[in-house]
Structure 1
Amino acid sequence: MRLHFITGNKGKLEEAKAILSNYGFEVKMIDLKKVEIQSDNLEDVAVHAIKLIDNKYAPVFVEDAGLFVEKLKGFPGPYSSYVYKTIGCDGILKLLEGEKGRSAYFMAVVALKLPSGEVKVFKGVTRGVIARVKRGSRGFGFDPIFVP
């Protein structure tokens, strides 16, 4: 079965293909400019985006994820993409310099639109800590500083 993935992020696309191919899904990227609302809730962002997508692409999904650092009161959270592009991993490490509490979690939300127009939402959380230095050369985004 073919699933359309609304993303411009090739890293996310490759991850989705690797996971979903194990279940018989063929994932095709559609690089549409999605309008993102400003919200502190990732689910609101994903649901708003998927509702704007034409049913001709269904089944279609969007994914939004964020790094939530507890010592920073959940920052960068839903603004992770912007924060990564502006201050990156080094900026997060700088904000945590001298801090003992380094607990954090990644949250990912997937909104799936079925051919009927019905929207289903799936959420996952991985808890961990922020490393003191960047590690590894694989992955993307905040992967080099997040230790599950």
Structure 2
Amino acid sequence: MLKNVEISVVTSNENKFRELAELAKEYNIKLRWINLPKVEIQADSLEEIVRNSAIIAYNMIKSPLIMEDSGLFIEALNNFPGPYTNYVRRTIGLEGILKIMQGIENRNAYFMTAICYIDDKIVKVFTGKINGRISYSIRGDKGFGFDPIFIPEGEDRTFGEMNLEEKNKYSHRGKAFKEFVKFYLTYIS
């Protein structure tokens, strides 16, 4: 178990920070929120986007940090919106995705997260993925983003119907964070 470890998380999304901070408690890691907008390149890979964003953020704050990027990948839509998830959420939202999915039987989808850790010696990316399906309606008022239309595998509820502790049991973000912690425990020892 780690003692008195603090890591900066750069994000303008308080919900993402809250999820990561809750996950970090399990490992006795304290996360410090740095509320900066993420500078994103346009790319087809979450890993490439988050790596570039983390490098830019590191050059601004000159301190070890983690940065996160997530995407919803819908099988029947050729994995759209993928790395464009945030833009799609802001423009057409949950209703827009459900409208596009009308009449489509294949509801398979997955959420993926890429977390990048950077310091003065290393830049490393960790990923997590959760399979599931798109619901037929918006369900639940918890969570954020596309949570109210994503049902994780093995569940009948959407992420939007789960509290934070329940969501973190399945979460793509949680899986990526656990991979980061495994690395970090050996890296700092």
- After TM superposition, the score normalised by the length of structure 2 is 0.75
Aligned-pair Cα RMSD in Å: 1.1
2:118 corresponds to which of 108, 113, 128: 113
Percent identity over paired residues = 42
**Greater CA deviation, 77-86 or 30-39?**
30-39
Which whole-Å CA distance do the structure 1 matches of 2:143 and 2:116 have between them?
Answer: 23
Which whole-Å CA distance do the structure 1 matches of 2:103 and 2:36 have between them?
Answer: 41
Which whole-Å CA distance do the structure 2 matches of 1:34 and 1:71 have between them?
Answer: 29
1:61 corresponds to which of 49, 52, 66: 66
2:128 corresponds to which of 88, 105, 124: 124
The alignment covers a number of residue pairs equal to 146
Instruction: Say which structure is richer in strand.
Output: 1
Gaps of 5+ in 2: 153-189
Partner of 1:94: 99
Which whole-Å CA distance do the structure 1 matches of 2:13 and 2:32 have between them?
Answer: 12
Which whole-Å CA distance do the structure 2 matches of 1:50 and 1:65 have between them?
Answer: 14
**Match for 2:82: what amino acid?**
G
Gaps of 5+ in 1: none
Deviations 1:6-55 (A, max 9, x none): 10000001001100011111111112233210001000001111122137
**Match for 2:83: what amino acid?**
P
Q: Runs of 4+ in structure 1 displaced over 3 angstroms? A: none
The within-5 A match list for 1:1-148 is 1-52=5-56, 53-54=58-59, 56-58=62-64, 60-114=65-119, 116-148=120-152
Indicate the structure whose relative CO is greater, using CA pairs within 8 Å and at least 6 residues apart: 1
Instruction: Say which structure is richer in helix.
Output: 2
